[in-house]
Structure 1
Amino acid sequence: MTFTDEHLVPIADEGLGNTAYLVDLGDGRALAVDASRDLRALLAAARRRRVRVAYAADTHLHADFLSGAVQLRHDTGAVVLASAAGRRAFPHTGLGDGDEVDLGGLTLRALATPGHTDEHLAFLLLDGPRELGVFTGGSLIVNSAARTDLLGPHRTEELTRAQYRSLHRLAALPDDTGVWPTHGAGSFCAAPPGTARTSTIGAQRRDNPLLAAEDEDAFARLLTAGLGSYPAYFDRLAEANRRGPAVLAGLPRLPVLDAAQVRALLAAGGEIVDARPAADYAAGHVPGSLSIPLRGRFATWLGWLVPADTPVAVVLGEDQDPDELVAQGYKIGYERLVGRLCGEIPRTATTAFLPAGRTPAGPYLDVRQTAEFAAGHVPGARHVELGVLAGRAADAPAGAVVACGHGERAMTAASILERAGHTGLTVLRGGPAEFAAAHGARLTTEKS
C-alpha cells in the first residue's frame, strides 16, 4: 500500500489529554495503538473506514486509563502487541527491542524506550525501509517527555536517566519521521499546555527543550523540575492493565434509586457525586454531596477524589447522558457506580456562585495545580491543590472565595469544604485574572 496521512486517524481524549491511533492498513484491517477501554470513538472511526481492528498495540502499562486491548481482542479478534517485559497476564504477542511484526505491507518495529515505565516500547511504522512515523507513547512527546516518577521517588532518577537515552535514540531517526505520542497537552503524565498532539523528529530536535539539554544531568534537572502532582488512581491502574481489564458485554445502565436506597448507600459508607453543571449544584444540592461536573475531566476528578471501592450514587441533569458518565468511570476502572438519584431526593443546600464583580474581596483560596498557580495568581491568595484539599480542609480560610480557572474545580472544592464544616463560602464564576481586575489588583507570580 502507499501510506498517506489519511491512513492515520488520531483519536483524541481531551479529558485525559491522550491520543490513541487507528492505522488503516489498506486491506480492510487496522492497527489500534494505545486504545483506552472507552472504545466508542475508535470503533466509530473503524466503522466509517470499513476496517476491522486486527492488531492492538500498547506502548506501556498505562497508569491513567485502562487499556482497550483486551476488549478489542474479544470483540474483533485483534492480536495484542505489547512488551514481553510487561509480564501481562493475558494472551498477547510479547515483543522485545528490534522485534518486528508484519502488518501486511507495513511493518511495526519495537524499540525499547524505558523511562516513563520500565517496559516501555515505541513502535516504529515502516513502509519497506522508509520510517513513516513512531508511536512514542510516553517517551518523546511534543516538546517534552512523559513523567518518570510513577514508580516512586526511589526510582525517579534512574528512570529519568533512562528517559534521556530513550529520547536521544528516537531523535536519531530521520527528520521527516512522524512523532505520534499518546500523552499530550492536558495529560497528568506530563505535557506542556497548549502544544500540538503530533510532530516530527526534525521539529522535536529543533524545538524540544529536553533534547537541547547539554547533558544527562541537565536533562534530569529540567524534566524533574516540571513534575507536578497526579491523580491517586494512577497508583493502581498499571497493575490492573498488567492483569488485564475485565471484558464488558456493554456499558451497564445506571438504575434509578429511591430515597430509601440512597440512605442505605450512605449508611454503608457510600458517596453521592453530583455531576450536574456547577451552576445547577450551586442552586440546590443534597447536603454532603460531592460536586464533579460531567465534562471531559470527570474521570480524572472521580478517580482522584473518590476511592475505587466506594459505592457511588450520582445526580444528573435531565439533559445529561448517563452512558457518558459510566463510560468515563469504567475507563479508569471505577465500577462502583450504583445508580442515579430520582427527583424526590431533597436538595436543600446551596452554594454562592458569583462572577468576579460580585464576589467579596477575600480571603481567596486557589485550588488549581501548582504550575497554574505559579504562572499567575491573585496577590495574597492561599493555595491548596484540589487533589489534597480533603486532607487540608483546616488550612482553608473561613468564608473564602474559592477559585480555579473557570469555576468547576472550585465548586468541587467548595463541596469538599462544606462537608468538612465550612460555611459562608463563595465560588468564583471565572478565573483569577477576572477577580484581580474586578478588585483593582494585578496577578502576581510571587509566592504567597
Structure 2
Amino acid sequence: MGVEVGRLVPLVDEGLGNSAYLLDVGSGRALAVDPPRDLRALRAEARRRRLTVTWVAETHLHADFLSGAVQLAATDGATILASTTGRRTFPHHGLTDGDEIDLGGLTLQAWSTPGHTDEHLSYLLRDGPTAVGVFTGGSLIVGSVARTDLLGEDRTVELAHAQYASLHRLAALPDPTEIWPTHGSGSFCSAPPGSARTTTVGAEKTTNPLLRAPDVDTFTTRLLTSLGSYPAYFRWLAEMNRHGPQVVTGTPELARLSADEVRRLLAHGAVLVDVRPVTDVAAGHVPQALAIPLRAQFATWLGWLVPPEQPVVIVRNPDQAEEDILWPALTVGIEHIAGELDGGMSAWIADGGPVTRTALIRAPEISGPVLDVRQAGEYAAGHLPGAVHLELGDLAAAAPDAVPAGPTVVMCGHGERAMTAVTLLERAGRADLAVLVGGPQDWVAVTGQRLREGT
C-alpha cells in the first residue's frame, strides 16, 4: 500500500520548532505521532479528512511541550503507544525494541533509540518488508540530532554516546527511507536553522555533520559544543508528561477581571502579561507588566519567564483571540491564568490606572550603550560593535552591573524580545531604556558598517 502523497500530514508548530504527524491508515482511521496539547491543527486536519485518531505514538517524554496523547485517549478513544521504560503513570500500550503494531496494511515497529532521552523510541513504518519511513523524534533530525543534556550534566556525555549509536542504527536503513523528525528548525532541542522539516537517510548521510563524524568522541565534541541555552520550562515538562497533563474539557476562556480585581491579584503575587504588539505596549502599559507580544514564539517566552505556579493576568487587544493565548500557554504548562483585564488598556486608563511608556527608536537614532538580548549563537553570528550581550532568558537573574548603566538601547532581531527585556528591567526599577525597532541588519543598512562576529 505504501504512504501515498497526502496521506502523511506534518503539522508544524513554527514557534516551538516541532512537527506532529497525522497518518491516514485507511478505513477512516489515523495514527498521530507526537501531538502537542494544543490539538487545534491536528483536529482540523482530521475533520477535513474525516479521520478518527485510533493510535497516538510518543517518541519520548517531551521536555519542550506537553503532549496531547492523554487528551486524544480521553476524547477520541485513541490507544497511546509509548516506551515501557518511560514509567508513564497513565494507561498506554507499552512497547520495547522490535515490538510491532498492525495499522491495517502498514506496520509500525518500535526501535529503541536512546540519547536525546533514556526511553526514546523511533517508529519504523513498513509496507510489508519495505521500510517506508521512520518517525525519529529527536534521534535523527534534519542536519543534526537533538541535545543530550536535558537529564543533567552528569548524564550528558553518556547520552551523547547512546545518541551516536542510535544515529548510526537509523542511518543503516536504505537511503530512500523517509525521516520524519519531531524537532526541527526553531526548536531549543537543538535543530540547526533551515526550512526543511523532513529528510531521507541518504540525504543525511551526505549532509549531516554529526552523522559524518568519524568516531564517537568527535561526534560528542561536535554535538556538545553546538548546544546553547534552553527554556526554563524544559526542567519540569518531561515529568508532567510522565503523569499526563490534565484533560481539558470544552474551550478554554479568559475570565473577565475588573481593574480593581487585577490590582488585588497583582498585590498577591500575580504577574500581568501584556500580549499586545510592541508599538501598543510602548504607547502605554500597566506598570510592572511583562510584555510578551503574541506571535509564534509566545509560548516559549511565556514558559521561560513565568514560573508555572505564578498566577497570570492577561492584557490583550480585542483582535487577539483568547484561544491563541490560552492553548500555547497550556502547551508549555502555564495553567494558572486568572483571567484578563476586562476592556484592556482603555478600561485601565478610564479607571485612573497609571501608565508606563517606553521609547521606540530606529537604527539612525542609536547612541550610547546597546544591550543585545538575542541568543548566544545569534550574537556571535553578527552584532553591533560594543554591544553588551545578555540573553533574554538570563536577564531576570543577572547581576545589576551586567546591564549597562544610564540610558540604554535594548535590541534583538526585530523588537519583540527587546520589549520583553525592557519590561523585565522596568520591573527591577529601570526607567531609562529604549527599544530598537528592527535588528542588526537595519543598523547595517543605515550605517554601511559591518557587524562584529564572535563573542
Corresponding position of 1:136: 136
Point out where structure 1 has 5 or more consecutive residues left out of the alignment: none
Alignment of 1:273-352 (within 5 A): 273-343=273-343, 344-345=347-348, 346=353, 348-352=355-359
Distance in 1 of aligned mates of 2:89 and 2:368:
54
Distance between the aligned counterparts of 1:436 and 1:233, measured in 2? Answer: 35
Residue 363 of structure 2 corresponds to which residue in structure 1? Answer: 356
**C-alpha separation between the residues in 2 aligned to 1:118 and 1:253?**
37
CA distance in structure 2 between the partners assigned to 1:393 and 1:251 by the alignment = 42
| Matching residue of 2:212 | 212
- The 2-side partners of 1:434 and 1:362 are apart by 17
For 2:245, the equivalent position in structure 1 comes to 245
How far apart in 1 are the matches of 2:166 and 2:454? 36
5 Å-filtered alignment, 1:43-122, equals 43-122=43-122
Residue from 398, 406, 410 that aligns with 2:414: 406
The SS at the match of 2:26 is: coil
1:361–1:439 contact (8 Å) kept in structure 2:
no
Cα deviation, residue 203, structure 1 = 0.3
State the alpha-carbon separation in 2 of the partners of residues 123 and 40 from structure 1: 24
* Structure 1 position 426, deviation (Å): 1.1
Closer, same or farther: CA 195–223 of 1 in aligned 2, 3 Å: farther
Deviates further, 126-135 or 256-265: 256-265
> Which secondary structure does the structure 1 equivalent of 2:282 belong to?
helix
1:383 maps to: 389
In the TM superposition, residue 420 of structure 1 has moved relative to its aligned partner by: 1.0
**Separation (CA, whole Å) in 2 of partners of 1:440 and 1:176:** 46
Equivalent residue in structure 1 for 2:428, among 420, 430, 433? 420
Root-mean-square deviation (CA), in Å? 1.1
- 1:143 counterpart SS class: coil
For 1:425 and 1:62, how far apart are their aligned partners in 2? 37
* 2:105 match: secondary structure: coil
Is 2:2–2:132's contact at 8 Å kept on the other side of the alignment? no
**C-alpha distance in 2 between matches for 1:410 and 1:2:** 48
Conserved 8 A contact 2:358-2:434 = yes
CA deviations over 1:55-103 (Å, ceiling 9, x no partner) = 0000000000111110000111101000000011011000001110111
Tell me how far apart the structure 1 counterparts of residues 333 and 428 of structure 2 sit (CA, whole Å): 27
- Of the structure 1 ranges 251-260 and 96-105, higher mean CA displacement relative to structure 2 is found in 251-260
Structure 1 residues 167-217: Cα deviation after superposition (integer angstroms, max 9, x where no partner)? 000000001100000000000001001241000000001110001111100
* 2:440–2:451 Cα contact (<8 Å) kept: yes
Say which SS state the counterpart of residue 150 (structure 2) adopts.
coil
Q: In 1, distance between residues paired with 2:454 and 2:150?
A: 29
> Which residue of 2 is the match for residue 396 of structure 1?
403
- In the alignment, is the contact (CA less than 8 A) between 1:142 and 1:195 conserved in 2? no
What is the distance in 2 between the residues matched to 1:105 and 1:446?
53
- Corresponding residue for residue 151 of structure 2: 151
After superposition, the C-alpha distances for 1:345-371 in whole angstroms (9 at most, x for unaligned) are 1351100112212x2323110000001
| Paired residue secondary structure (2:441) | helix
CA distance in 1, matches of 2:121, 2:46: 24
Is structure 2 residue 132 aligned with structure 1 residue 124? no
| SS of residue paired to 2:397 | helix
Counterpart contact for 2:29–2:53, Cα < 8 Å: yes
> What is residue 367 of structure 1 aligned with on the other side?
373
> What is the distance in 2 between the residues matched to 1:201 and 1:272?
47
Kept after mapping to 2: 8 A contact 1:251/1:326 = no
Q: What's the CA shift for 1:11?
A: 0.3
Query: How far 1:437 moved relative to its partner?
Result: 4.0
In structure 1, distance between residues paired with 2:167 and 2:366: 49
Letter in 1 for 2:441: A
Q: Secondary structure of 2:398's partner?
A: helix
Kept after mapping to 2: 8 A contact 1:393/1:420: no
Report the number of matched residues.
Answer: 446
Structure 2 residue 447 is the aligned partner of structure 1 residue 434? no
Residue of structure 2 equivalent to 1:18: 18
Contact 1:251-1:327 within 8 A present in 2 as well: no
> Which region of structure 1 is more displaced relative to structure 2, 429-438 or 272-281?
429-438
TM-score of the superposed pair, with normalisation by structure 2: 0.96
Quote the Cα distance in structure 1 between the aligned partners of 2:2 and 2:85: 33
Question: What is the CA deviation profile of residues 94-143 of structure 1, one whole-angstrom value per residue up to 9, with x for unaligned ones?
Answer: 00011101111100000000000000000000010011100000110000
Residue 2 of structure 1, CA deviation: 4.2
Deviation readout 1:17-71 (Å, 9 max, x if unpaired): 0000000002110000000010010011011111100000000000001111100
Secondary structure of 2:300's counterpart equals helix
TM-score norm. by structure 1 comes to 0.98
Q: Distance in 2 between matches of 1:306 and 1:10?
A: 30
Q: Separation in 1 of the partners of 2:185 and 2:3?
A: 27
Q: How does 1:128-277 map to 2 (within 5 A)?
A: 128-277=128-277
* Counterpart Cα distance in 2 of 1:159 and 1:125: 25
> Aligned pair in 2 of structure 1 residues 419, 254: CA closer, same or farther (>3 Å)?
same
